[in-house]
A and B are shown apart, each in its own frame.
Chain A
Amino acid sequence: MNLEFSPEENAFRDEVRAFIAESYPAQLRGAQDEGEDLTKEDFLAWHKVLAAKGWVAPSWPKEWGGTNWTSTQKYIWGEELARADAIPVLPFGIAMVSPVIYTFGTPEQKAKFLPATYNGDIWWCQGYSEPGAGSDLASLKTKAERITGDDGKEYYLVNGQKTWTTLAQFADWIFCLVRTNPTAKIQEGISFLLIDMKTPGITVRPIITMDGGHEVNEVWLENVKVPVENRVFEENKGWTCAKFLLAHERSGIAGVARSKRGIERIRQMAQTELNDDGTALITDPSFKRKVAELEIDLTALEFTELRTLAGESQGKGPGPESSVLKIKGTEIQQRITELALEAAGHYGAPYFRGFPADGDNNHPIGPDFAHRTAPNYFNTRKTSIYGGSNEIQRNIIAKMVLGL
């Protein structure tokens, strides 16, 4: 039991902090401050800086560019990124498909995809959910049939529809779960395919969410020819990859460092916003109480995560306990957005997306933070739905942890 950082760890923190301060792209900072939707170039600008530094994928194996950081170093890294309001590296390539590729892929697949993903030359999106397969992912229907092409090579012919595909509008490749055996038990007929988004037959259609944003998409696949060598792991064993990937997705989902930053921001807002009695909102006992409860819940989550990390560093993989992190982490993220909206008062109501034209710097009225609070609140409802809804996470704990 020890919480002290060693001198080396403190030196590491200083190094990381200085690096972010010097290298974070100014244009990206500007776009974030304006509350604009980030472009592909914005995302990649930061990704490429990190890749050049060798820090874009700390958790990868050393041979593919991992940093060999201890879990404490990774924790410090996450804290410093959040502290600087740096955008997170998108998870789809670095944290999701790449671990599948370096764990289950062929040497050719590793060589083709890992360096390009590391450098930001391949933007990945995730083809998991379907209109009829959300929480019940294994019931997915997109089918892939083996055919021999005119060139005499073996292909899968893929037909179906994926949905909620985050940032597919920017993607170069999609990793897809597809059904290769329609008669087997549902988990046993699934394969994991890597598909070039430029392949004929792929259509991406935007889904506009209630906050007005375009983050997610429908991806339609119509007679899409995928070379057989783009399958990862054995045919009909894709569910193994899927489960492996979902466990990875959950382990980063607590978002402790970012929530800490979020609470810090609430405290700042509540210093300048006034309460009913004309004093600072933060002096209002009911508001203060809610912030205090949030901080305490976050501390509990943080120490639960630290215990999980400590277990991982002793060789215990991220297990079903990570569902606890997902549930509590997302609930806290949601409560932060509720308090921010509350702090905004009347100025939570104005809505400026696309009105007047986006990019009009004159449009915010009221306190600077206010016009993003309602859209953020609406958008953050997704967190208890995605990555396995919080109801599903509770089922996992009931079954896998409690043995019910």
Chain B
Amino acid sequence: MDFNFTEEQSMLRDTVASYLQDHYDFDKRRKIITSDAGWSPAIWKAFAEELGILGAPFSEELGGLGGGATENMIVMEEVGKALVVEPYLGTVVIGGGFMKHSGYADAASVIEGIVGGTTVIAFAYAEPQGRYTWSDLKTTAKKDGSGYVLNGHKAVVIGAPWATHLVVTARTGGGQRERDGVSVFLVDKNSKGIVTRDYPTVDGARASEVFFENVSVPADALIGAEGAGLPLVEKVIDEATAAVCAEAVGSLRKLHEGTLDYARQRKQFGQAIASFQVLQHRMVDMFINVEQAVSMTYMATIKIDEADAERSKAVSAAKVQIGKACKFVGQNAIQIHGGMGMTDELAIGHYFKRATMIEGLFGSVDHHLRRYETLSFGKAA
């Protein structure tokens, strides 16, 4: 039994934390997210070249740092503490995950692009009708000669405006909601026939509606086996969910710490509001929520390479805990800050907004409870 980090892992955390402290404080972040581009290519370049963290979960042969899910967890927690919008999740965790697990022929060169910061990936998986059922796809990929032609509409593709490539789920067969017939493609975003509508998101990122209008892709765009992509999608989304849990932990720690600081210095009725027992108990419950969220994130990360059912159960359990913590800690952080918590000027509201979006990302509390129930008790009759 060991929950300690290796020396390399501790160094990775320190490196990322101190870089973000210097280059990604609240004001610098505000400038980045309100710029036309909405992200900082310079920061991304530094992630690749100065810090080398875009290679964190990849083997050294592929130019990476030789890590895995734990390294993703470490980086994502720092991402959550600094509210980094740059697409580590989409590119490294998700794009990289598809490359690592699919036996994709050209994986080495794609990973090289990811590690070097030149390949930026957004994951186009959600559709307007599908909610959290990843097999519910109206987007089609029809065989055309040796390649495929894609048609369909992908919803709220986070980071798409910055991406060079999209990982797209589409149907090569089967009915709209069937498990069989799901295929995954790596598509150059400049491909003819891709139309996007870009917009900001409430938590400071950018996203797009992506429309595929007869987009031709070559045969080697296919990731994994044709029509059998769903287990791969589920595995990568589980990894992404665990990573997002780690991001939430970073934001939750900030929400809790920020609230303690504020309650200690804010005086009403002649004393610090931290001295009121009702608020003390609230802050204790916030603390318990944060600690449980940390524990569940570790648990999910440790179990991420288990067999499918075991892994999914662990990830859903963690996401339930994290979803609840995001709501409880976020809402009470605002409440204890009073009016100040409502302002755009303080960081606390921005952490709350990100935590709120994480609540729904890759499935709500209800969704993951249901998934856990099915995995744990079997399907309802």
Is A209 on the interface with B (CB-CB < 8 A)?
Answer: yes
Is A378 on the interface with B (CB-CB < 8 A)?
Answer: yes
Is B364 on the interface with A (CB-CB < 8 A)?
Answer: yes
Contact A381 B342 (CB under 8 A): yes
Contact B353 A210 (CB under 8 A): yes
Is A317 on the interface with B (CB-CB < 8 A)?
Answer: no
A227-276 at interface with B (beta carbon < 8 Å):
273-276
Within 8 Å by CB of B207, from A350, A378, A382, lies: A350
- Collect the chain B residues with CB atoms within 8 Å of residue A350's CB: 156, 199-202, 207
Interface string of B295-319 (1 = CB under 8 A from A): 0000000000000000000000000
Interface string of A286-301 (1 = CB under 8 A from B): 1100000000000000
Is B349 on the interface with A (CB-CB < 8 A)?
Answer: yes
Contact A342 B360 (CB under 8 A): yes
Measured CB to CB, the closest approach of chain A to B182, in angstroms, equals: 15
Is B350 on the interface with A (CB-CB < 8 A)?
Answer: yes
- Interface hub of B126, B352, B357, B360 (most chain A Cβ within 10 A): B360
Per the CB 8 Å criterion, the residue count for chain A at the interface is 54
Within 8 Å by CB of A276, from B126, B176, B343, B367, lies: B367
Is A377 on the interface with B (CB-CB < 8 A)?
Answer: yes
B94-122 at interface with A (beta carbon < 8 Å):
none
Contact B335 A385 (CB under 8 A): yes
Contact A135 B201 (CB under 8 A): no
Complex Cα gap A341–B353 (Å): 12
Complex Cα gap A164–B341 (Å): 12
Complex Cα gap A211–B163 (Å): 27
- Collect the chain A residues with CB atoms within 8 Å of residue B341's CB: 381, 385
- Collect the chain A residues with CB atoms within 8 Å of residue B158's CB: 349
The stretch from B65-73, B130-138, B217-225, B241-249 touching chain A is: B130-138
Contact A346 B156 (CB under 8 A): yes
Complex Cα gap A390–B332 (Å): 12
Is B378 on the interface with A (CB-CB < 8 A)?
Answer: no
Complex Cα gap A389–B334 (Å): 12
Is B128 on the interface with A (CB-CB < 8 A)?
Answer: yes
Contact A351 B342 (CB under 8 A): no
A371-388 at interface with B (beta carbon < 8 Å):
374-375, 377-379, 381-382, 384-386
Is A348 on the interface with B (CB-CB < 8 A)?
Answer: yes
Contact A349 B344 (CB under 8 A): no
Contact A284 B366 (CB under 8 A): yes
- Collect the chain B residues with CB atoms within 8 Å of residue A208's CB: 343-345
Residue of chain A at shortest CB distance from B209 = A365
Complex Cα gap A134–B341 (Å): 13
Contact A391 B278 (CB under 8 A): yes
Complex Cα gap A288–B345 (Å): 37
Per the CB 8 Å criterion, the residue count for chain B at the interface is 51
Is B20 on the interface with A (CB-CB < 8 A)?
Answer: no
Contact B352 A275 (CB under 8 A): no
Is B279 on the interface with A (CB-CB < 8 A)?
Answer: yes
Complex Cα gap A257–B316 (Å): 38
- Interface hub of A342, A345, A363, A377 (most chain B Cβ within 10 A): A345
Contact A135 B360 (CB under 8 A): no
Complex Cα gap A346–B353 (Å): 15
Within 8 Å by CB of B331, from A276, A348, A379, A381, lies: A381
- Say yes or no: A275-B343 contact (C-beta < 8 A), given A284-B366, A363-B199: no
B351-371 at interface with A (beta carbon < 8 Å):
352-353, 356-357, 360, 364, 366-367, 369-370
Contact B133 A278 (CB under 8 A): yes
Within 8 Å by CB of B339, from A134, A347, A348, lies: A134
Complex Cα gap A279–B209 (Å): 23
Contact B131 A276 (CB under 8 A): yes
Residue of chain B at shortest CB distance from A129 = B339
Residue of chain B at shortest CB distance from A286 = B366
Residue of chain B at shortest CB distance from A334 = B331
- Collect the chain A residues with CB atoms within 8 Å of residue B203's CB: 349
| Interface residues of B, dominant DSSP | mixed
Residue of chain B at shortest CB distance from A382 = B342
Is A108 on the interface with B (CB-CB < 8 A)?
Answer: no
- Collect the chain A residues with CB atoms within 8 Å of residue B200's CB: 350-352, 355
- Collect the chain B residues with CB atoms within 8 Å of residue A207's CB: 343, 345
Is A200 on the interface with B (CB-CB < 8 A)?
Answer: no
- Say yes or no: A209-B199 contact (C-beta < 8 A), given A378-B352, A378-B353: no
Contact B350 A210 (CB under 8 A): yes
Within 8 Å by CB of A365, from B197, B338, B339, B353, lies: B197
Complex Cα gap A284–B126 (Å): 20
Is B177 on the interface with A (CB-CB < 8 A)?
Answer: yes
Complex Cα gap A384–B341 (Å): 12
Measured CB to CB, the closest approach of chain A to B199, in angstroms, equals: 5
Is B268 on the interface with A (CB-CB < 8 A)?
Answer: yes
Contact A348 B136 (CB under 8 A): no
Interface string of A348-367 (1 = CB under 8 A from B): 11111001000000010110
Contact B349 A210 (CB under 8 A): yes
Complex Cα gap A148–B343 (Å): 40
Complex Cα gap A136–B338 (Å): 12
Contact B269 A136 (CB under 8 A): yes
- Collect the chain A residues with CB atoms within 8 Å of residue B269's CB: 135-136, 139
Is B155 on the interface with A (CB-CB < 8 A)?
Answer: yes
Complex Cα gap A348–B364 (Å): 12
Complex Cα gap A73–B367 (Å): 44
Contact B343 A384 (CB under 8 A): no
Contact A210 B352 (CB under 8 A): yes
Residue of chain B at shortest CB distance from A138 = B269
Closest 4 CB pairs of A and B: A210-B349, A136-B268, A208-B344, A351-B202
A-B contact pairs, 17 of them (CB 8 A): A132-B267, A134-B338, A135-B268, A135-B338, A207-B343, A207-B345, A216-B339, A341-B356, A342-B360, A351-B202, A365-B197, A374-B356, A375-B202, A378-B353, A386-B339, A389-B335, A394-B278
Residues of A in contact with B (beta carbons under 8 Å apart): 129, 132-136, 139, 163-164, 207-210, 212, 216, 273-278, 281, 284, 286-287, 338, 341-342, 345-352, 355, 363, 365-366, 374-375, 377-379, 381-382, 384-386, 389-391, 394
Given contacts A345-B131, A349-B207, A350-B199, 9 further A-B contacts (CB under 8 A): A139-B270, A209-B342, A209-B344, A210-B353, A346-B131, A349-B158, A377-B356, A378-B356, A381-B334
Residues of B in contact with A (beta carbons under 8 Å apart): 126, 128-133, 136, 155-156, 158, 176-177, 197, 199-203, 207, 209, 267-270, 276, 278-279, 327, 331, 334-335, 338-339, 341-345, 349-350, 352-353, 356-357, 360, 364, 366-367, 369-370
